[in-house]
Amino acid sequence: MPRKSKSTPARSPYGVHPGVAMIQDWIASLKEKTGRSLDEWMDHVKADGPPTTPERRDWLKKQYALGTNTAWWLAERAEGGGPWDDTPEDYLKNAPAVVDAMFAGPKAALRPICDRLLELAMTLDNDVKACPCKTIVPIYRNYVIAQIKPTTRTRVDFGLALRDTKPTGRLIDTGGFAKKDRITHRIPLGSVAEIDAEVEAWLHKAYEMDG
């Protein structure tokens, strides 16, 4: 398994979440596909659409034959929300602050666990990146291979994409494979000392299975 040499400078663990590029592409193509730009849709929805977000979704789908995702995103954005408002540059700039907020307050004691897991992930190879969301830190190769989730004040769940692997040792089956979720197993961690050779081996296995 490729590893960084001890003399290799540490790189940032963060990369742009695939959803950011997807939304940016969607915004860029909206005018051509629907006849209105994002700003034009926002003006129209707010001025002429129904008052609530669920009603707006249905209205956009029925009145304009928009797809479910497009109708959902437009309705959410009209309320001041919506996924991935950041540009790729802003996303990368904000990623450390997202992780800081996730591990703030009563979950601050869990931050060293997150940092150690990210450090291990970065030793896999240069095609690995962490893409923080609000409540989890997914780790990608081609697809998600693992995720770091501060589930309680005393526990991080280290999720892993291991398909139908039979759980052994501390590895817990989440039922994800049956539900066709990427994350299929987890290892609960209460301290950095629990990130041992077993955890590292399962992370390597998840990386290899995404090759």
State mean pLDDT over 166-191: 96
Closest listed residue to residue 27, CA positions, set 37, 17, 35: 37
Residue 60 is part of which domain span?
18-78
Task: Tally the domains of the chain.
Answer: 2
The reply to whether 71 and 169 lie within a common domain is: no
The reply to whether 123 and 155 lie within a common domain is: yes
Whether residue 7 is contained in a domain is answered as no
Whether residue 83 is contained in a domain is answered as no
For 116, residues 6+ apart whose C-beta sits below 8 A from its C-beta are 192, 195
The reply to whether 53 and 108 lie within a common domain is: no
The reply to whether 196 and 155 lie within a common domain is: yes
pLDDT of res. 22: 83
State mean pLDDT over 15-33: 88
The reply to whether 68 and 157 lie within a common domain is: no
The reply to whether 108 and 204 lie within a common domain is: yes
> Is residue 2 pLDDT above 60, yes or no?
no
Closest listed residue to residue 134, CA positions, set 176, 174, 89, 104: 104
The reply to whether 34 and 111 lie within a common domain is: no
pLDDT of res. 11: 81
The reply to whether 66 and 113 lie within a common domain is: no
Which of the pair, 86 or 122, is modelled with greater confidence? Answer: 122
How far is the CA of 168 from the CAs of 126, 180, 192, 198, in angstroms?
29, 21, 21, 10
State mean pLDDT over 27-55: 94
**What is the Cα–Cα distance from 37 to 27, expressed in whole angstroms?**
8
CB-based contact 147:136 (threshold 8 Å) = yes
pLDDT of res. 83: 56
> Is residue 5 pLDDT above 80, yes or no?
no
What's the mean per-residue pLDDT of the chain? Answer: 91
